Structures are given as structure tokens and as C-alpha cells.
Amino acid sequence: MYSQVVKYLAGLVLIMVFVDSGLVAQSISSIKQNDVDMGRAFRLNSKSDGTKGTPFMYEEAPKAKIALKGGKIYDEIPVNILLEKNEVYIQTGSEDDEPLLLKNWEWMETLEEYPKLFKLEYLEGKERIVEILYEDGREKYIALHKKVMVKPSNLKDGYTGPQYDTYRPDTKFYKINGLSSEEFKGTKSGIKEIAGSKYSDVRSFMKDNKIKMENSAGMKKVLLYIFD
């Protein structure tokens, strides 16, 4: 009799766990579990022998606010982007849980010192994950982030220390309108073309605030100054 009760209770617990897991999966129905080990790279040590850096956007995943296409919004979710594959990964549980490959997202905004707003946009005939720097209707100024593998420039000999292949960030800027896109540079001539008659003021703003135009945070500040 006792063994039957134990078996019954054990079965009941398993049913409760199964139902609870189903409810969780239902509440994030557009989130699909990833079965690729590389998805772990943003929460584990991404470095390996002979390599520095990571193919992901961030070496340490920031938290973000994420909006799904169904209308649900999630806060404080650790997130990272596998840039080469245009894939977004999130961590919904502890660091011991497998990351999830996020499919049905609409936008996400990182919660960091300089927040980044990411969306999917068509660029050069392909849907890509881009950072929105400024948008006004159909017209958008965006940053396309990549990671480039750089090989050591020096030949290894007995006098050189360890040499590594290194993932380095590479950012390009585009103006897009619908399906059309045009690259622009963060150079003097590139900013002058965008700023027009406001260029003198913009140049002073950049100088006074020591803005670096090669990164998206600096470009975003300048675009907001020009258009707002």
C-alpha cells in the first residue's frame, strides 16, 4: 500500500512538472530552444586557445527589453547576437540553463550605459539585425555590426609571445528608406552631407563633446543633434 502511494505521488509530481513546463513554453511560444553549442558562448568563457574575443556582439551579455511580434514584452532578459548568422539568443533561467534561440522578436533595447535599439531591416537584399540610430517614418539611419577575424601579423618565433586570431568589431552606417539603402561614412564629408547648413554647429558639438564617429554611440548622438 505504501509503495503504491509513493508511486502515485511521484507520478503526480511528474505531471505537475510537465504541466508547469508547458505553461512556461506557452507563455513564450515564439521562443525555441537552441541545440547548437555555440549558443552558449555568451554565458560561458568564449575564449579558446589561439583565439581572442567572440563572434557574438557582446563578450558579456547585457540585459534587454524584448518585444515579441505577438505583443508581449519581456524586461531584464540577458541577450546576445550571433552577428554572422543574424541570430538572437536569450537566457531565461539561470546560467546553468541552455540559452534559447529567439525567433519571433520585433525589437529589443539593451539596458546598458548607451542603450542600443535593434530591429530587423532589409539591407542589400537581405534581412539583417541592425541598430537603429535615428528613424523618421520610413527613413532610418542604422548601424550594421559585424565581427571580423583578424590573423596575427607577425611570424611566430622564439622571441614572440602568444599570438591569437582575434575577433574585432566592424561597424558600417547606412541610410535606408523602404528597400533602398545607401552607406554613409562617419567622416567630415559624410557628416557634412547629412548636416547641410547645420554642419558648423554639428562640428562644434562633436568637438566640445569629444565624440568618436567610428562607433555607433557617437554617430547616434550626432544624428539626434542634427535632426532633433
pLDDT tens-digit series, residues 58-67 = 988 899 999 9
> What DSSP state is assigned to residue 50?
T
Same domain, 113 and 225: no
C-alpha 188/C-alpha 211 separation (Å) is: 13
The reply to whether 50 and 155 lie within a common domain is: yes
Radius of gyration (C-alpha) of the chain in whole angstroms: 23
Residues facing 81 on adjacent strands: 88
Same domain (yes/no): 167, 190: no
For residue 133, tell me if it sits in a domain.
yes
pLDDT for 197 beyond 50: yes
Q: Is residue 108 part of a domain?
A: yes
Q: Tell whether 98 and 70 lie within a shared domain.
A: yes
Place 155 in a pLDDT band, splitting at 50, 70 and 90. low
Query: Does some domain include residue 18?
Result: no
| Domain shared by 122 and 143, yes or no | yes
In a domain, 22, yes or no: no
How many angstroms separate the CA atoms of 120 and 136, rounded?
Answer: 16
Q: Is residue 106 located within the same domain as residue 170?
A: yes
On whether residue 26 sits in a domain, the answer given is: no
pLDDT tens for 77-119 read 999 999 999 999 988 777 667 788 998 999 999 999 999 999 9
Question: Does the structure show a pLDDT above 80 at 47?
Answer: no
Q: Which of 179, 194, 211 is the last residue of a domain?
A: 179
The CA distance from 86 to 81, in Å, is: 7
Same domain, 119 and 194: no
Q: What is the model's pLDDT at position 162?
A: 67
Residue ranges making up the domain that contains 74: 31-179
Residue type, 144: L
Quickly state the pLDDT bin for 17 (edges 50, 70, 90): very low
Residue 90, domain member (yes or no):
yes
For range 211-221, the mean pLDDT = 94
Question: Is 46 found in the same domain as 159?
Answer: yes
Same domain, 99 and 113: yes
62 lies in the same domain as 128: yes
Q: Please check whether residues 107 and 148 belong to one and the same domain.
A: yes
Number of domain units in the chain: 2
In a domain, 128, yes or no: yes
Residue 193 has what pLDDT? 95
Looking at the structure, tell me whether residues 115 and 141 fall in a common domain: yes
Say if 15 falls within a structural domain: no
Q: What is the pLDDT of residues 107-154, one digit of tens each?
A: 999 999 999 999 999 998 899 999 999 999 889 999 999 999 888 776
Structure confidence by residue, pLDDT tens digits, 167-185: 899 999 999 998 899 999 9
Task: Give the per-residue pLDDT at 42.
Answer: 45
**In angstroms, what CA-CA distances link 168 with 55, 57, 105, 206?**
9, 10, 27, 25
pTM score of the predicted model: 0.76
Nearest to 116 by CA among 92, 142, 154: 142
